[in-house]
Amino acid sequence: MAGASDPGSGPRSPEVQGRSAGVMAHPGVEDHSPSRRGHIVHVAVSLTAEQAVRAEVWARTARCPVPFLIRRIAQALRDRLCDDWEQNGMPEVVERRGSRGKYPTRVTLPLRLQIARTLAARHDPCGMLGLGRVMGPAFRGGFQMAFDEALAEAELTLRSAEAGS
């Protein structure tokens, strides 16, 4: 059931489906949320075993928990991916069911209403799955690449700092 694993992204009653003038409503995409940040989507991400080892070193040096790093990278990625998906469409990504890595973390992604409606109309036209479940595989694929890039940058920064001391 989409609502249980993906709060805020499941089907909604007709009376809450479209309240912004001039923007077409879509089942499952609300234009109101407690935070007023847009449509809230929850996506689960995790690290590969190799990323986890490297992230632990980064987190110790940065004096923060690994899930904090995960959330920072995921939040930074959100706008870049959504802009790309708005222009080029969201890729269809097939994931192996039940695959889970190290440090599973649920990230909250506030999406602009228009992109949420566009993605939902294209990829969940009946509003049955919920936007988080629909965009999860593509977001996780982008997240893996972005996290690798962030790890490489952090490692360069750490080496430079060590060489300078």
The pLDDT assigned to 165 comes to: 66
Looking at residue 123, its pLDDT comes to 86
Confidence of residue 69 (pLDDT cuts 50, 70, 90): very high
* Tens-place pLDDT, residues 16-65: 333 333 344 555 565 444 446 688 999 999 999 999 999 999 999 999 99
Q: What is the pLDDT of residue 74?
A: 93
Name which residue leads in pLDDT, 61 or 100: 61
Residues 59-86 have a mean pLDDT of 92
Q: What is the pLDDT of residue 27?
A: 56
CA distances from residue 96 to 2, 34, 93, 99, 100 in whole angstroms, order as listed = 18, 34, 10, 6, 9
User: Does the pLDDT of residue 66 top 90, yes or no?
Assistant: yes
Q: Tell me the pLDDT tens digit for each residue of 114-132.
A: 888 888 888 888 989 888 8
Contact 12, 44 (CB under 8 A): no
